[in-house]
Chains A and B, each alone.
Chain A
Amino acid sequence: MGGHDDSGSSEKKSIGVANDVPTFNAENMQNNMKAVYYCRTFMCIIGGVVAGILGFTGLTGFIFYFLVMAITSVGLIAKAGFSIHSYFDSWNQIIFDGILGGLMSFVLFWTFAYDFVHIF
């Protein structure tokens, strides 16, 4: 489950010209967001397969999903060197963005792996 660390390498530092004026490069910011989105999707799929193989059912699986997302968030923050504001606008963008969007992917791969391992 260390996959969230290597795909975030395309993050670029936005230019901090003045301390008091909020300055950022919109393209780089977008690139950062894209990197976060990729990491999340990747972790959704991997997490789904893992949850299916481990045979989680019901609420346990969803708890596992949010756990995986929390781990991803921590990994992304660690990747950003704990200085969020040089890469992102706010904490929300790195912690909460795209969590619900990946739920369908997670459920799909969870069902897939679960059926393969435990039902058939």
Chain B
Amino acid sequence: MAADLVLDTAIRDWVLIPLSVVMVLIGVLRYFVSKLMRSSQLPDAKIVKEGQVIIRARNLRASANFIPSKSFRARKAYFSNEENGLLFVPKGQAQNPQAQMFSDPNMAMDMMKKNLSMIIPQTLTFAWVNFFFSGFVAAKIPFPLTQRFRSMLQNGIDYSTIDVSYVSSRSWYFLNMFGLRGLFSLILGEENATDDTQKMMQMSGFGFDPSKSLGAEKDGLDIIQHEWALPKFEQRAEATLRKLIS
């Protein structure tokens, strides 16, 4: 291991701190920009209605055991009746999802905007770091690494005698990129950029082919085994209340 290096404090003042600050600020900026660019498309009333029906049916399925079987049967009939149930889809009326996709270019547009807002700042920062801060040691990682990491962490530095734990500013950039995710979730709240994409996927999957999910929900409701979970709840409530009084 080489002797301990003494790094210039100017590196700290002009490389380490600005890099971290810029990364944090770019993260915040990206959050607000993606919030602004999120186009509030007016959803089709029919699709919204079907989505709500699906949610109601799902609620019924989830808590089926907490209502008496008579009530459950009534609700089930209301949803999955063969003639006019809410979940019943007449044949031939189902929309082709491909055609729907083409008729709604907004969705693809949204997706592209989201991707661009992710990629552009990253490339820009990386180019910035490469251009200004390459060719010198910027930081020391407080744990030893093997020689394998040298080409990754020390590119731009051509000394084979330096300990591998001294890294260039590019690796400091990568460390920031991965490590600041936790900080962002603390300062920006739950709606992080990474979470956003997942939510987006869910949303688009949700309203994508409503007739199909209606059918699936109907099948799910049909095969559910009803078993009332609270057969003696009156007695139990009485006991609890009596215990409260006495």
Contacts and interface: CB of A to CB of B under 8 A. Distances in A.
Nearest to B11: A120
B230 interface: yes
Contact of A21 (B20, B65, B139, B190): B65
Interface stretch (A52-60, A67-75, A89-97): A52-60
Contacts of B185: 37-38, 41
B139 A111 contact: yes
Contacts of B65: 21
Given A17-B230, A120-B9, A105 B139 contact: no
Given A17-B66, A18-B229, A42-B186, A119 B140 contact: yes
Interface of B: 7-9, 11-12, 16, 20, 65-66, 139-144, 172, 175-176, 178-183, 185-186, 190, 229-230
Interface string A1-27: 000000000000000011001000000
Given A57-B143, A114-B142, A119-B139, A21 B182 contact: no
Contacts of A44: 182
A85 interface: no
Contacts of B143: 57-59, 61-62
A3 B60 CA distance: 41
B238 to A, nearest CB: 15
A110 B7 CA distance: 18
Nearest to B4: A119
B142 A52 contact: yes
A21 B66 CA distance: 10
A82 interface: no
Q: Which of B12, B16, B181, B182 has the most CB of A within 10 A?
A: B182
Contacts of A62: 143
A62 B142 CA distance: 10
A17 B12 CA distance: 58
A120 B228 CA distance: 69
Contacts of A119: 7, 139-140
A107 B12 contact: no
A100 interface: no
Nearest to A55: B142
